[in-house]
Structure 1
């Protein structure tokens, strides 16, 4: 096994998932990219990954994965194949254009007052829960509830149904990890079918009585009969919107709070206005990215990655977390600097598959963090309760994060 292969092997261990950054450093020492084995390659340098993400010669597995029998048996995989997450042009272009009408900068900016109201209500609930000095789980009480409330509001999901989705979506997200044993997908498949059942019922309700929400808008597109959106694509993309709408932002909040607790001067600076909140959010995205990796498939002949020939049909693993710690792009990458110049991390990707909800995630973060710190000036980690990371590599965040408010 090559040096890069051995390092990747370590990356997928429990210790590697817990702290991948020393392994990224080792990969950078080997070079910007490597041929690991057979038709498998890995890229870790910022400029290389940025170029691959923007190169139309590299695509996603898409619906071609459904022709592989062992993959086709798992709905947690096949449903994502029919969403913009795994589609290639022209299907990706067609469906993304429909969904992008909801995520225009103007529409996202208009959500700011509603986000502020949701934050205020969640902080009130936290204050009630922790009034006696007992620990409050920041992940469950705030980091999850804010973004899920926002995306469910957009989708038209009733408030009473929203909080059931965290455990289901965490199971579904197993399908986004780099896995070799397909048996681990059993809970993901069960959860996917349950979520799909929920959306099937919601779609039926909205067909009968449309509302001013994203679900009704996508149903309208699917019902035109002109091929702009199939019923399978409708359901798959609703599931994707729900998952993508809160998973990344939830992890952004948890990872950001860990940064603040490790560096109390930052929290003081944010409260005083001497640390820019937008710069802080961007640096959290770079420093401890909620999404650590993605992959691309070579769709044509003659492609290269950092000068290494990549035959058609080869898979290239793109380590976004490593790119964000590339010293050639970000000097002193282990230093957390909220005023880092030209800070453009690849946490939300780049190119055609750039995250549709990136602006919304940033808006939620820059709105919520100052309000959180102002409301609880003595916010601190709970001494007798341990914060626990999710045992995942692709989606990096915390399962529980106990805090005390005073």
Structure 2
């Protein structure tokens, strides 16, 4: 193992080791003093370079020279990868595909997962949010603490994407648990054999579940995304296999669920930390959500592979070398955002790179934004006395930064009889 020889080695190493309990932003500020990107000492980390400036991150994600890790890249590193269902499932998705194969699958999903489809989901978002807020009001009566993550931030995105795909509400809790296991394995610090084995079991179960649901929708279509996907494939205009459908449905659920959870969670302390948060959110929900995405983004790291020997911003890279693309740092780049450590919902020209860029731009981005813009104002409108409760608990991941638990109270006072004088 090589020794730390540069400031970039030290900082990126600390980020990689720190996990969810680490505040990465002071380290990002130190990275920005080094420029936009840096080589890393060979053998110290899996990555040969890191991109952390906004321009560098945007450029590398749009450059077709830099690829995602696909089956062709995986083969020489792990010849037995096909023995692991989680790897087989993920490699069947556009998230882990490049070039023509990626474009073939992406075209199918873009055909059916349209802006109109997202707009059609708005009544579902509002109805599900209202139902969850009713439950929170009951749970929080008398000043009792409620875990906002468990009762709202997790359930709303899960039920919305479940409704989009056509998953029964009764299956969402099980499905979310399987996706959490796979996300645990995807976190670059947590790839031990036990974590991999659990992810394999989850992928096997999800595959069986989706294959059965695809068969049901073929036989009896409904008004959901899976029905439309199978109809487009069976119509002969898109050559996508059922196993590729499964891989991409898993990724779509993940993209529309995992990051949105932490968007809701990361937004709440910001909303409650100042006197103007509520009014700013109500006045300009889209601008407020964009600033949350910039200031405390859920997704902090993407990985890219050099598809050939190349040079990036003056840094020489060899084919197959990995680059850590730090979107969390890019969103705090002082060369792109004035006073980047200030939370400012009125910020002009605010274009966070939280959902990536280029060919692999997140499919679920529009749905995530819509959910937050609709539901966050409902939360603060419903509970004027909403306040943070006991100590929150951070997730133990770094790639997806957020909260595991975020206790809140929704009542300001408790009467002598033990009931709240106002639930909001």
Query: Shared fold by TM > 0.5?
Result: yes
> Structure 1 CA distance, aligned partners of 2:321 and 2:26?
27
Secondary structure of the 1:18 match is coil
Give me the whole-angstrom Cα distance separating, in 1, the residues matched to 2:20 and 2:205.
32
What CA RMSD, in Å, does the superposition of the two structures yield over aligned residues? Answer: 1.9
C-alpha distance 16-402 of structure 1, shift in aligned 2 (>3 A): closer
The equivalent of 1:232 in structure 2 is 243
Gaps of 5+ in 2: 412-424
Describe the shift of the 1:155–1:380 C-alpha distance in structure 2 as closer, same or farther (beyond 3 A): same
Q: Distance in 1 between matches of 2:255 and 2:300?
A: 14
8 Å CA contact 2:21, 2:395 repeated in 1:
no
Matched residue SS, 1:343: coil
TM-superposition CA deviations, 1:288-327 (whole Å, max 9, x none): 11100101111123x2222112222211110000000110
Residue equivalent to 1:122: 132
C-alpha displacement at 1:16, in angstroms? 7.0
Question: 1:5 maps to which residue?
Answer: 9
Q: What residue in structure 2 maps to residue 215 of structure 1? A: 226
Greater shift in the superposed pair: 11-20 or 350-359: 11-20
Partner of 1:42: helix, strand, or coil?
Answer: strand
Q: What is the TM-score with the length of structure 2 in the denominator?
A: 0.89
1:263, 1:49 → 2: CA distance?
31
Question: 2:148 touches 2:406 (CA, 8 Å); kept in 1?
Answer: yes
Per the alignment, do residues 127 and 47 of structure 1 end up closer, same or farther by CA in structure 2, a change over 3 Å counting?
A: same
Structure 1 CA distance for aligned equivalents of residues 73 and 197 of structure 2: 18
Cα gap change, 1:70/1:329 in structure 2, threshold over 3 Å: closer, same or farther?
Answer: farther
The answer for the alignment partner of 1:317 in structure 2 is 324
**Alignment partner, residue 256 of structure 2:** 245
Moved more, 257-266 or 336-345: 257-266
Match of 1:189 among 200, 209, 219: 200
Distance 1:373 1:44 in 2: 34
Offset of residue 261 of structure 1: 2.5
What is the deviation of 1:200?
A: 2.3
1:165 is aligned to 2:170: no
Shift of 1:85: 0.8
Counterpart CA distance in 2 for 1:37 and 1:17 is: 26
- The answer as to whether partners of 1:66 and 1:78 remain within 8 angstroms in 2 is no
Separation in 1, partners of 2:83, 2:329: 33
Give TM-score, length-normalised by structure 1: 0.93
Partner of 1:102: 112
Sort the Cα spacing of 1:17 and 1:41 in 2 relative to 1 into closer, same or farther, 3 A.
farther
- Structure 1: runs of 5 or more not aligned: none
Work out whether residues 285 and 347 of structure 1, in 8 Å CA contact, stay in contact via their aligned partners in 2. yes
Offset of residue 133 of structure 1: 2.1
Deviation of 1:71 after TM superposition, in Å, equals 4.1
Deviations 1:34-81 (A, max 9, x none): 111337111111001101111111111112244223544433233212
Shift of 1:114: 2.4
